Amino acid sequence: MAITGSSPVVLSESAHRSQLRRAVIASTVGTTIEWYDFLLYSVVTGLVFGKLFFPKSEPLVGTLEAFAVYTVGFIARPIGAAIFGHFGDRIGRKAALIATLLITGIATFAVGLVPTYASIGIWGAVILTVIRFIQGIGVGGEWGGSVLLSMEWARTNAHRGFIASWPQFGGPAGLLLANVAVLAFSAISGDQFLVWGWRIPFLLSFVMVGVGLYIRLGILETPAFQRMLAENRIEQAPALEVIKRQPKEIILSALARTAEQGPAYIYLAFVFAYTGQVLHTPRDFVLTALITAGLVSFVTIPLSGYLSDRIGRKRMYLIGAVATGIFGFVYFAMLNTLVPSWIFIGIVLSFVPHDMLYGPQAALIAECFTPRLRYSGSSIGYQLASVTAGGPAPLIATALLAWTGSGYAIAWYIALSAVVTIGATLLMPDYTNRDISQEHSWRTRRRAA
């Protein structure tokens, strides 16, 4: 224990409610900006990067190479989780979140300035890889802090799933903004999109970061962290301590995300390669479908978080995992009809099973970890899935398509992801409506399970 603090600030009921609202807004807006930055890269990879940074490769091979660079950001995310989990558990949730926002935003802005293969050869791809790695570090530290900033301001145990689902709402909101930006500048730049139009959405990140900083600087530290500071319960090396004391929870958290992470990046990133190279569907059509899917998620994510408070976190999550495993086959059946209306509906519906997992996921994972190690534990567990599931998914999907020529091989991959999630979730504890303000022990974890 290394840091001694003063007594927590005591707020009136109305002041506390005001801070809760501000914390939820700050988390959601900040997460939206972070995910705009990260997912913008996902959208543009399938459309642009293969052509501009690997122009001498065959189209499918160039896409594979572009997705390999894309995967680097996911490899960096657990590193960011460990770094910012350490500082989030040592100096506070707020400070860590301000740092992650700056790092991710600056890295995204820099992507818009990278010279292509035509200008500097392979060095363009090298620079892009380094920037993507830095961006991944920032995003890796963001999620845990955003969830805790919201969840730890809640005074009641009964609405934790719903409150923690709002930072998750930032995912589809960021995706919506990323797709709108690409669609808008695709229309504005026309046939110059590959020349300069794709860069503008990345450069706009600079403005969005300024908005996010303004909002986050105005909030207070969470009562849970203030209390730990006052009681001198700050761990010197929280990331190492949580690996030592709660390794099972870390591993299960990562595995439980498999059916959410892998399919998500197939549906939002690989879809451009599949619809463009196999179905020959217009780019703007797919962007419009993804924008509509993001709008649907505005309802389905908080609704799933709310339902998890009513029927239990694990039960809601298992329902979502089963739906995900089944839907992969429905998805490719709808796309393979080549009928525009069915393709559109398939893309829009693809986010619904995902959201059934994503809504309750934040509370399910964060509740597993003891307060003094919660930022580190939940962040590391959450972001490990980026390496095992999220990052490789578009790469695996592209390889399966090249090998089999069929989208149904990818559907089987999605079904296997769902099986992994179901197994891991069944082994996780369930703290729905339980008090999580006290230190976890082995016995309380066993009772919760």
Position 158 scores a pLDDT of: 66
Using CA atoms, how far residue 143 sits from 40, 161, 169, 305, in Å, is 17, 15, 12, 16
Nearest partner of 42 among 388, 320, 340, 290, judged by Cα: 290
Q: What is the mean pLDDT of residues 55-74?
A: 74
Radius of gyration of the chain from Cα atoms? 21
Using CA atoms, how far residue 43 sits from 22, 67, 82, 268, 295, in Å, is 30, 11, 27, 7, 17
Q: What is the pLDDT of residues 224-255, one digit of tens each?
A: 888 888 888 888 889 999 999 999 999 999 99
Position 446 scores a pLDDT of: 45
Instruction: Please name the residues in contact with 59: beta carbons below 8 A apart, sequence gap of 6 or more.
Output: 50, 277
Q: What is the pLDDT of residues 84-120, one digit of tens each?
A: 999 989 888 888 888 988 998 898 899 889 898 888 8
Position 8 scores a pLDDT of: 56
| Secondary structure tally for the chain: helices H, strands E | 22, 0
Local confidence band at 361 (pLDDT 50, 70, 90 cut-offs): very high
Nearest partner of 38 among 106, 103, 108, 85, judged by Cα: 108
How far apart CA 412 and CA 410 sit, in angstroms, is: 5
Position 311 scores a pLDDT of: 95
CATH architecture of 13-234+246-448: Up-down Bundle (1.20)
How far apart CA 257 and CA 424 sit, in angstroms, is: 9
What's the N-to-C CA distance of the chain in angstroms? 29
Burial 292-309 (b: 16+ CB within 10 A, else e): bbbebbeebbbbbbbbbb
Q: What is the pLDDT of residues 112-150, one digit of tens each?
A: 898 988 888 888 888 888 888 898 898 888 888 888 888
- Read off the pTM: 0.83
Q: What is the mean pLDDT of residues 37-48?
A: 75
Sequence ranges of the domains in the chain: 13-234+246-448
Nearest partner of 168 among 363, 403, 375, judged by Cα: 363
Q: What is the pLDDT of residues 7-42, one digit of tens each?
A: 556 667 777 778 888 888 888 888 888 788 777 877
Q: What is the mean pLDDT of residues 54-62?
A: 73
Which of the two residues, 443 and 184, has the higher pLDDT score? Answer: 184
Which of the two residues, 330 and 8, has the higher pLDDT score? Answer: 330
